[in-house]
Structure 1
Amino acid sequence: MNFPVTRMRRLRRTEALRSLVRETRLHPGALIYPLFICPGEGVRREISSMPGVFNVSVDEALKEAEACAALGLGGLLLFGLPAEKDEQGTGAWAEDGIVQTALRALKANRRLDSLVTIADVCLCEYTSHGHCGVVARDGEHYSIENDSSVALIAKAAASLAVAGADIVAPSDMMDGRVEAIRAALDAAGKQDTPVMSYASKFASAFYGPFREAADSTPQFGDRRSYQMDGANVREAMREIDQDVAEGADMLLMKPAMPYLDVIRAARERYDLPLGAYQVSGEYSMLQAAFARGWLERERAMMESLLGIRRAGADFIVTYFAQDAGRVLG
């Protein structure tokens, strides 16, 4: 039937009607809040390119976590800023590493039992050169060694699981890392710890502010030889196929907004729990627009998250998690 018998606006007339027929919904439990853990005590240092986001010491991280739990958020994604770095990133698997220490503190606080703790697994925050793996040099040329890097990444994942991570999330984009991590977890008695793979992580300009937050800017070159080319959707599906075959339990797409089509393609193809990371550049550009009065803060924030959810993400890693949780609560 056509107009005037069919009037599409009938179900938009009131907020109650709009809510009744709403197809896609956000809820706090689907939001994951990233935390950047640094050494010290009482440290809460704002990241200049990410207003409202801080490097925090473990004691301050506990306060942030309690706020997240009170809002009903789903969990935390933990990144570490070690006191010292080296060529191989040994701080990534140290028993007293910064994230390992934070995990033990978080798990000791029973008020935080509702939060899932997700440990990012990568070497870039821990290496002196800022790359996500072992660097091989040949004169002025360099390359990132895949297999030796995978061995260290698996070692870091097992260490984080033993320290208390509910989920380990490899973000390095080395080939074969999921299979190696699964084997390392099983060998460490952590057969029940899920692997959430950053299955299609694209080499993106939208990571810029994160590199300030995590102090992980490469000291030479870039990451395009291991992170994905942003032009390739079919290759992204092959990457996910490989990670699923190796035992990934969950998938995480990164970035989100510039790659909504990839999220949708993955959602239509895979049945695994699927998340998306609204990365630092997405957050920072919205914050810049808010500061200038160009966008309405709450509406734009919620619309950006709704778009990611509508594309197919079951959960969203976002720096807006606390703000959005307050709106949704």
Structure 2
Amino acid sequence: MPSPQSLIDSAKRTINLEQDAISSLHARIDTTFVKACKLILNCKGRVVVVGMGKSGHIGSKIAATLASTGTPAFFVHPAEASHGDMGMITADDVVLALSNSGTTNEIVTLLPLIKRLGITLISMTGNPSSPLATAAEVNLDTQVTKEACPLNLAPTSSTTVTLVLGDALAIALLEARGFTPEDFAFSHPGGALGRRLLLKVEHVMHSGDELPAVSQGSSLREALLEMTQKGLGMTLILTPDQSLAGIFTDGDLRRALDKGIDVRQATIDDLMTHGGKTARPEMLAAEALKIMEDHKISSLPVVNEHNQAIGALNMHDLLRAGVM
């Protein structure tokens, strides 16, 4: 069995080799990279990523990153492309072909078809003199001095460099398009990020008959009955024109009892929290959550532009919605 130290040394050597390979990319981010970005930005179709073996796995990830950051893209296996999937690619698309050697048979076989259809071709290869690189409008250089594999055979440093260069391309395009967090959320509607960036207060608030509310001057008994029926642990206090006068919560009741206030005689006006923090219906639910966390409160009234109460929400609503 190898010693623990030899395993650690091996891992560190691999990391150092791959870090050096990535660092070498800086000198290659030049006008060639800019041209590749412009070709994709001018593309009327989609970016079709192709690659075999380990390059295929990297290509699939690059396609996914492009697609989720504002550049429509998908991965096509080059062997399948030769058996029908070439029909998925149109003259409006850009093909991004990955091959460390630049001589991968399955990809080279596609070159005459790509040229005949007039499809823009961008390559990522470790050999700028290869058939793939010379056939491409732009070749992005991914060559490495040495693979991290001690046999210098298994794709390691080369795949890492290709992945990093693919990320650099995707992010440069993202920034060039002015891609926003909301745009990103639309690409990830089912995830936690999508919920935080898309879900608004109006989507989760209680309104209509579900809204706990009593009028100014109501008795504490009336307020407690309303709180019990609506089950939010709070009730809004409204003026005659439905404007928000204040809020009464379970916490307000406990504080009143601690102070020895005669709750049988007091009106809700004597016990409520006047004014207080509010949310707007068009506000992101995540923004409402921040208000609650910053002010250590568990409920928020929702008001319109005229300060009229139209809803309420609490921490449990946000938890159920997956915002927390």
TM superposition score normalised by structure 1: 0.27
Q: Comparing both structures, which one devotes a greater share of its residues to helix?
A: 2
TM superposition score normalised by structure 2: 0.28
| Structure of greater relative contact order (alpha carbons < 8 Å, 6+ residues apart) | 1
